[in-house]
Amino acid sequence: MTAENTTLEQEWHEKFAKDLFNLTWDLLDKEKRTVEENDKMVHAAHASRFHWGEIGTPLEFERGEWQISRVYAVLNRTQPALYHAERCLAICTEHGIEDFDIAFAYEALARAYAAAGRAGKSQEYMSLAGQAAQEIEEEGNRDYFLSELGTISDLQE
């Protein structure tokens, strides 16, 4: 494969990774989705992660795992939500990824456990997420994170 072909392939993977990530967000943001849209959301999240897996870094890998976990938690599919949240945290830990991303790894576990009806485990990860939030350097990111973390309480009520 020539250098030009390699560059084109990398650009192709990056384009699809980003487009599918954004499509997943668009579907997550919809208040009411059809069964077909739910399926599309699952497939898009996995496909985005696949493309990042071909060309990305651990940062994109863990963010992809986080998004997949979020999709499954929203759909109340707790086993895959927990699996992908655990993968997200493992990637952060293995590669020393901190700040915003480690906080969201804990958030993913808290959300997945809340969806599974395991309030004690959810609270454990909520606490870790809250501690990690204090380490988020950019105030806007911290505020956004805390607003997202607050939505988990709604699941536990």
Three-state DSSP at 32 gives coil
Helices 78-95 and 99-115: crossing angle in degrees, nearest 10, is 160
31 in the same domain as 76: no
Q: What per-residue confidence (pLDDT) applies to 107?
A: 98
Which tokens sit at 15?
């384009």
Q: Encode pLDDT of 47-89 as tens digits.
A: 999 999 999 999 999 999 999 999 999 999 999 999 999 999 9
- Per-residue exposure over 84-100, b if at least 16 CB sit within 10 Å of its own CB, e if not: bbbbbbebbeeeebebb
Question: Can you tell me the distance from the alpha carbon of 150 to that of 117, in angstroms, rounded to the nearest whole number?
Answer: 17
- Higher-confidence residue of 137 and 7: namely 137
Using CA of residue 75, residue 77, residue 80, residue 81, what is the dihedral sign?
A: positive
Closest among 13, 12, 95 to 54, alpha carbons compared: 13
Residue 156 reports pLDDT greater than 80: no
Compute the average pLDDT of residues 3-32.
Answer: 93
Q: What per-residue confidence (pLDDT) applies to 3?
A: 74
Give the count of domains, the chain. Answer: 2
86 in the same domain as 41: no
Q: What is the CA radius of gyration of the chain?
A: 16
> By residue range, what is the domain housing residue 34?
1-56
**Chosen domain end from 17, 39, 56:** 56
52 in the same domain as 93: no
Residue 5 reports pLDDT greater than 90: no
76 in the same domain as 21: no
Q: What is the pTM of this model?
A: 0.94
Q: Encode pLDDT of 99-142 as tens digits.
A: 999 999 999 999 999 999 999 999 999 999 999 999 999 999 99
